[in-house]
Amino acid sequence: MSEVAKLELDGTVYEFPVITGSENEKAIDISKLRGNSGYITIDPGFKNTGSCVSEITFLDGEQGILRYRGYSIEDLANKASFLEVCYLLIFGELPNKSELAKFEATIRKYTLVNEEMKDIIDGFPKNAHPMGILSSLTSALTAFNPKPLNVESDEQVYEAVCKTLAKFLVLSSWVHRKREGFPLNYYDNSKGYVENFLRMMFAIPTEEYKADPVIVDALDKLLILHADHEQNCSTSTVRVVGSSHAGLFASISAGVSALWGPLHGGANQAVIEMLEAIKADGGDVEKFIAKAKDKDDPFRLMGFGHRVYKNFDPRAKIIKKAADDVLNSLGVNDPVLDIAKTLEKAALEDEYFKARNLYPNVDFYSGIIYRALGIPTEMFTVMFAIGRLPGWIAQWLEMRKNGEPIGRPRQVYTGSNLRDFKDIASR
Ligand code: SDX
């Protein structure tokens, strides 16, 4: 006998089916609620509302569990490459050797970006935020690839996936180069995906560039840790935009914009700015913890708290260890790492944070590593976007292949009731 939920409204009892996920998550299917009762539900921020069923990523916020297609984030971060994880998220299985070789070879088919893209990037002022430029360039890709994607064609989907992974990486590096006034670099098809990003970011024509394997490995792991996170703000945005059958590039462009916000992916930049402010202020973490607790102060402890995790964000644990390893390996001594650790310890011992289950999230330590890798602070959220790209693609494809309806929520109107029009003379 399948489980049902009963709801009594105005003396009438309505029954709604309960669905159970593969990890025993329960949801009440209210798709017939309005038709049967005239009522809708309301849930600002969708804190209690599921938008879809999905086979891609599983989170358990209470246990601090994160899995991509059933594989633990710990295993993937320590044993897989970022491109293997891209393949896993998008196509559902880890690739074998020949599948991975074909995937990398197909990505290399699309690593040359249309030269006219440079005219678009030249139109931006030097101080434009990288995320604003990247969102625009991603949307502009539609202009150079106008043919709508037939999601029923596996071959077209495969090519579109590889093209997106290739072009987005090159454009991300161009955003940095433009801001620095350096010549734009091209992808080198003889080198790996992550190594190429570093080369396109930092190689200058006057010197030979050799990517440090420690940095390549650290970046590869960081990208894996950011690759997907079920229905977060930017992924939900990609799904909703895609639900109108807008193209993949347009949907991803919208996801970049959503990720930019300091409450979401923009937090990694905000964390470093916060840690720098604490350092400049003399390192008094208690003062900033008090500000974070003060309801009259808009200041929040950036990199802390999470909509789903009410335990440690498993990614934060891995990144915290990686920060120690990478900085030690590179011989970097960054005082903000010590401030971050002191801040974390103090916050985790504070009743306000404990009572609200506020723990460090993925953004708390990531910026410290990015900085040690030589990546400028304003590029940190672009790094998050590069990591999240395969998740956005996978979720967009799942939404389209499932034939999901256009995302169009209802509302409760609380404005003026009907009133007569007044001529301007009588207003
Ligand atoms: C990401 O969703 C995802 O999966 C996102 C992400 C992904 O991989 O896609 O994990 C990436 O976005 C991580 C989050 C990065 N953002 C930050 O680090 C910004 C700082 N954190 C917050 O603003 C906040 O914690 C959110 C936005 C992350 C979550 O907000 P919620 O779930 O809406 O929680 P809330 O704002 O309702 O807070 C609950 C309580 C409130 O206090 P009370 O009203 O109960 O007294 O906790 C307080 C909040 O004031 N609170 C904080 C706080 N975060 C929450 N107080 C101080 N500092 C904070 N950081």
For 362-420, what is each residue's pLDDT tens digit? 999 999 999 999 999 999 999 999 999 999 999 999 999 999 999 999 999 999 999 99
What are the backbone dihedrals phi and psi of residue 68, each rounded to the nearest 5 degrees, phi first? -105, 115
Centre of ligand 1 from the C-alpha of residue 383, in Å = 21
pLDDT of amino acid 413: 98
Residues 287-309, mean pLDDT to the nearest whole number: 95
Q: Considering just the CA atoms, what is the radius of gyration of the chain in Å? A: 23
Our answer to whether residue 306 is catalytic in this structure is yes
pLDDT of amino acid 48: 97
Q: Rounded distance, CA 372 to CA 368, Å?
A: 6
Number of H helices, E strands in the chain: 18, 6
pLDDT in tens, 186-205: 999 999 999 999 999 999 99
Q: What is the DSSP letter of 161?
A: H
Our answer to whether residue 324 is catalytic in this structure is no
Distances in Å between the Cα of 177 and the Cα atoms of 22, 47, 121, 138 are 45, 39, 10, 17
Centre of ligand 1 from the C-alpha of residue 5, in Å = 30
3-state secondary structure 284-323: CHHHHHHHHHCCCCCCCCCCECCCCCCCCCHHHHHHHHHH
Q: Rounded distance, CA 112 to CA 119, Å?
A: 15
- Using CA positions, which residue lies closest to atom 18 of ligand 1? 303
Q: Are 391 and 57 in contact (CB under 8 A)?
A: yes
Question: Which of the residues 176, 229, 306, 313 is marked catalytic?
Answer: 306
Q: What is the DSSP letter of 169?
A: H
Q: What is the mean pLDDT of the chain?
A: 96
Centre of ligand 1 from the C-alpha of residue 140, in Å = 32
Lining residues, ligand 1, CB within 6 Å: 45, 229, 232, 263-265, 267, 292, 300-308, 356, 358, 361-363
pLDDT of amino acid 1: 73
Q: Does 155 have pLDDT greater than 90?
A: yes
**SS3 call for 230:** coil
For residue 396, give the nearest of 243, 230, 228, 224 by alpha carbon: 243
Q: Does 154 have pLDDT greater than 90?
A: yes
pLDDT band at 14 (very low <50, low <70, confident <90, very high): very high
pTM of the model: 0.96
Q: List b or e across 79-91, with b for residues whose CB sees 16 or more CB atoms inside 10 angstroms.
A: ebbbbbbbbbbbb
State which of 57, 236, 264 you would mutate to test the pocket of ligand 1, scoring each by most atoms of that ligand within 8 A of its C-beta.
Answer: 264
- Using CA positions, which residue lies closest to atom 13 of ligand 1? 264
% residues pLDDT > 70 (the chain): 100
